[in-house]
Chains A and B, each alone.
Chain A
Amino acid sequence: MDKKELRKKDLFASLILLGIGIWVFIESLKMIFVDLPGVKTVGWFVAPGVFPMILSIGLILMSCIILAIAVKESGGIKKGDWERIKKYLKSKDFLIILSEVGLLFLYIFVLLGRVHFIIATAVYLFLSMFIVKASAWYKLVIISIAISVGVAYLFGNLFKIPLP
């Protein structure tokens, strides 16, 4: 990634970080003037919101600096940039990442805890390897089952950790 390209992305990221900083600042303000022991007798500076507030001020300042650098060095957003983004969103690379993210969500949020750990893990492993065509499907089935059983044995039996 060349510097100009990186700075264009920094531009968006700094705006998001700035938003996070402002939100944390507002939230921490609510935690400064609270009715807690010490806050009234000693002062506002021992309140639970002090540390997040210091961090949010730092984050806001630093995001502004990144934003300024990005504006200066990116050369602005042009029409061609949007075309490149659209092209990337249709690329095979992006689709693989998106599929893997989807599979991780399926594995963690849907399968784990509802289906037996070995089955859930084997399904996730098989599908993840299958979408990137890691090997022949029957080999992937064997690998997925073997790994799932191995992990379950290692953590469940050897280390006595209850499986999810």
Chain B
Amino acid sequence: MVHFLSTIYHLLFSPNIVIMFLANILGIIIGALPGLTATMGIALLTGLTYGLPREVALVVLMSLYIGAIYGGSITAILLNIPGTGSAAATALDGYPLALKGRAGPAIGMARLASFFGTLFGMFMLMAIAPQLAKIALLFTSAEYALLGLFGVMISGFVAGEDLKIKGWIAGFLGMLVSCIGIDNLHGYARFTFGNPMLMIGISFVPAMIGVFGIPQVLDNLRLVLPQRIKQIGSVLPKWSEFMKHLPNALRSGIIGTGIGIIPGAGEDIGAWMSYFAARAMSKEKEKFGKGAIEGVVAAETGNNSAIGGAIIPLLTLSIPGSPPAAVLLGALLLHGIRPGPMLTFEFPGFIQEMGGIMFVASFVLLICGILVAKFFIKVLDTPPKILMPIVAVLSVMGAYAINIRIFDVYVMLILGLAYYLLFKLKYPVAPFVLGVILGPMIDENLRRTLWVHKSFAPFVTRPVALVLFISIILLVLSQFKWFRRLFSRKRA
């Protein structure tokens, strides 16, 4: 506790606070720009902060991390292009809110939710880090495979506007796209047609930018009359407004942190799972996907609380909970810190130090978020006929920047155009993106389980796996009339 308080004190009364502000603003901008992710931001800054003292480098990297995870929500709400994968769930309700002229309050609420989520994750990190890490260790390949599949299936179920099955088809197509390239277990080239560029596989960022961005550009550009959406409401939402969503935020915080702890799951799944839970528990389920502020709160609390969650296994087990945390691990090693079971002996008080930085950074986010949001919100005043070609250019740069590869831009365009046709037939975008993200995890863990156990038994004999398996089966059966009748009869 002493370390925690002294870190806060030293941060507030030293020039480091200015550095924290700048890093946070940079993080928000990086997060907001499509293609520039938190992972990439931390990776870039790791090199640039190498020469700085350890404390300052940590301040820069953690502030950037927190800012970037929030920043993704800004473009998700304003342009329906999630700046980061973790903001894809935010776009589902954030963008419809912007179309209704409520971009300001949506961004404001996203900021409060991110603030709350970061703080929640931080407290979880400090309070129950070792205990929660033990639970995450219980997950084996079977659970990971089923967790991934459950994520895709539930995403299709929730996002399906027309038939639920269209959401699942979208998810399956996404997973199929993720199969392209060299497979991780055997090093076997799948669906590459002998093209060396396809050997590396399809990165999810260009795919995500393509399917979110290109349909938007084509759909809005053809508007004959410029349609300005008058934005009403401030980017400064009232606390009382946020307090109405406190149970939702608390639930999302718990889910986000829990998901964040699971190695490899990260902020993206944290946001999705929180969103699905909010929808399932909501009294106004029908409003989700059409501009429910509850959806924005859940997704943003979920992804920011996953930061604290992802750092828990990173510090205690040296296993990063998310891709940005993986880069952070590299940065910590670079500065001579060896995360793992020995951390508390070698660097006593380090977890508290991280907690202190996260605590101050979450308040800094509240202030920086307002400054940056006010600038970004003016974007919506631009007529779509001018804005959409700019969105296309940003999508091109976003797809290119992630790997500095022109091939990714081709992938972005082709997937975007192909998905435009499905988009017009009400095939939701979100399950496709989640399929691309989770496909490799499902594939690898499915085959690893089969390899180790030489049978499908672990999927139904391990308790957690069985729960996930039954949930998937129930989800599928819920679409059959005879199954629904079975339950309605029982209730009657």
Contact = CB atoms under 8 A, between A and B. Distances in A.
B176 A24 contact: yes
A50 B447 contact: yes
Nearest to B454: A42
Contacts of A52: 176, 179, 190-191
Contacts of B454: 42-43
A69 interface: yes
Most chain-A CB neighbours within 10 Å: which of B175, B186, B401?
Answer: B186
B390 A50 contact: no
B168 A62 contact: yes
Contacts of B383: 134
A110 to B, nearest CB: 12
A31 B397 CA distance: 35
B394 A151 contact: yes
A49 B217 CA distance: 36
Interface in A48-65: 48-52, 55-56, 58-59, 62-63, 65
B425 A97 contact: no
A50 B417 CA distance: 29
B246 interface: no
A108 interface: yes
A50 B396 contact: no
B3 interface: no
A92 B225 CA distance: 13
Contact of A46 (B173, B421, B450): B450
Contact of A112 (B166, B214, B394, B409): B409
A24 B325 CA distance: 35
A93 interface: yes
B232 interface: no
27 contacts: A6-B425, A13-B421, A13-B422, A17-B169, A42-B450, A42-B454, A46-B185, A48-B185, A48-B188, A50-B446, A56-B176, A62-B165, A92-B224, A97-B218, A100-B217, A104-B413, A107-B392, A108-B409, A112-B396, A124-B389, A128-B221, A128-B389, A129-B389, A134-B226, A151-B393, A155-B401, A161-B401
B222 A51 contact: no
B222 A62 contact: no
Nearest to B41: A159
A132 B385 contact: yes
A81 interface: no
A103 to B, nearest CB: 8
A38 interface: yes
Interface in A101-150: 101, 104-105, 107-109, 112-113, 121, 124-125, 128-129, 132-135, 143, 147-148
A109 B410 contact: yes
B400 interface: yes
Contact of B221 (A62, A100, A148): A100
Interface string B171-187: 01101100100010110
Given A52-B179, A147-B390, A66 B165 contact: yes
B413 A51 contact: no
Top 10 A-B pairs ranked by shortest CB distance?
A128-B389, A134-B385, A48-B188, A51-B443, A96-B222, A48-B183, A132-B385, A46-B451, A45-B450, A52-B179
B404 interface: yes
B396 to A, nearest CB: 7
B406 interface: yes
